[in-house]
């Protein structure tokens, strides 16, 4: 998993570096002709200024495109960081919802693991994934995480040995605590466009 995120970040870094090199080449195109004898290449000063203006305009156009690309690169980087954070959250949930059992002799040999997928942490991850699918997340990770945890806490006490049926009953009765009205609108919008 670490290799996947490292590859994704490396590819993004390569794209940014390549684009910076291209911009530097355009800047050199403007800088190189501006030597002491620049004006001597033209018959009139107006021609020299016109040619220089064309070079500058081309560079400005390229910089405007680059500015938009920086915004895109920033979005891609933010998206990648968010995926890393979600992966971290999922791993934390797996750790918190896994109960390991050992024998009770002095050896403490590993016996088995029991997974409580329907615990609060599991519901929080499912809520996070659902929210991210339907909404643009413009909050930082810590706020997003604490907001979701608070929503799950508001559900009240979870059943002792949670089963799918018990959790379904708990969630279906408290749907409005987890999702705002905008969520229903997004679902309707998504189903009508497909």
Query: pLDDT, tens digit, for every residue of 106-133?
Result: 666 666 666 666 677 777 777 777 777 6
- Supply angle C-alpha 136, 119, 153, rounded to 5: 65
Same domain, 70 and 11: yes
Q: What is the pLDDT of residue 2?
A: 64
Give the residue-averaged pLDDT of 134-163: 74
Looking at 46, 79, 112, the residue that finishes a domain is 79
Residue 2, CB-side half-sphere exposure with 13 Å CA sphere:
0
Nearest Cα to Cα of residue 86 among 45, 54, 119, 130: 130
Is position 13 within any domain? Answer: yes
Q: 67 to each of 18, 45, 63, 64, 78, how far by Cα in Å? A: 14, 32, 6, 5, 17
Q: Which of 54-68, 82-96, 104-118 has the highest mean pLDDT?
A: 54-68
Number of domains in the chain: 2
Mean of pLDDT over the chain: 75
Domain limits at 58?
A: 2-79
In the chain, beta strands by DSSP E: 98-102, 110-115
Look at residue 158 in the predicted model and tell me its pLDDT.
78
| Confidence tier at 194 by pLDDT (50, 70, 90) | very low
At residue 58, the pLDDT reads 83
Mean pLDDT to the nearest integer, 10-16: 86
The per-residue DSSP string of 90-123 comes to: HHHHHHHTEEEEE-SSTT--EEEEEE-TTSHHHH
Residue 40 in this model has a pLDDT that exceeds 70: yes
On the question of pLDDT at 48 being above 80, the answer is: yes
The pLDDT, as a whole number, for residue 55 is 80
- Of the given ranges (29-33, 56-60, 147-151), which has the lowest mean pLDDT? 29-33
* Same domain? 67 vs 143: no
Q: How confident is the model at residue 42 (pLDDT cuts 50, 70, 90)?
A: confident
| E strand segments, 103-187 | 110-115
Same domain membership, residue 103 and residue 175: yes
């Amino acid at each position: 998993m670490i290799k996947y995120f490292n590859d994704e970040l490396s590819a993004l870094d390569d794209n940014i570096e390549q684009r910076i090199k291209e911009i530097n080449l355009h800047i050199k195109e403007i800088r190189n002709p501006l030597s002491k004898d620049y004006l001597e290449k033209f018959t009139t000063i107006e021609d020299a200024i016109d040619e220089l203006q064309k070079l500058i305009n081309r560079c400005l156009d390229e910089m405007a495109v680059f500015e938009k690309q920086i915004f895109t690169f920033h979005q891609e980087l933010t998206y990648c960081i968010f995926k890393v954070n979600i992966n971290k959250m999922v791993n934390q949930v797996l750790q918190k919802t896994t109960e390991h059992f050992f024998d009770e002799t002095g050896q403490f040999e590993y016996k088995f693991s029991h997974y409580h997928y329907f615990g609060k942490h599991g519901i929080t991850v499912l809520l996070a994934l659902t929210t991210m699918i339907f909404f643009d997340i413009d909050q930082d990770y810590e706020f997003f995480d604490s907001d979701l945890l608070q929503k799950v806490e508001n559900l009240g006490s979870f059943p002792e040995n949670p089963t799918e049926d018990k959790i379904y009953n708990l969630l279906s009765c408290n749907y409005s605590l987890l999702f705002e009205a905008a969520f229903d609108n997004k679902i309707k919008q998504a189903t009508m466009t497909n």
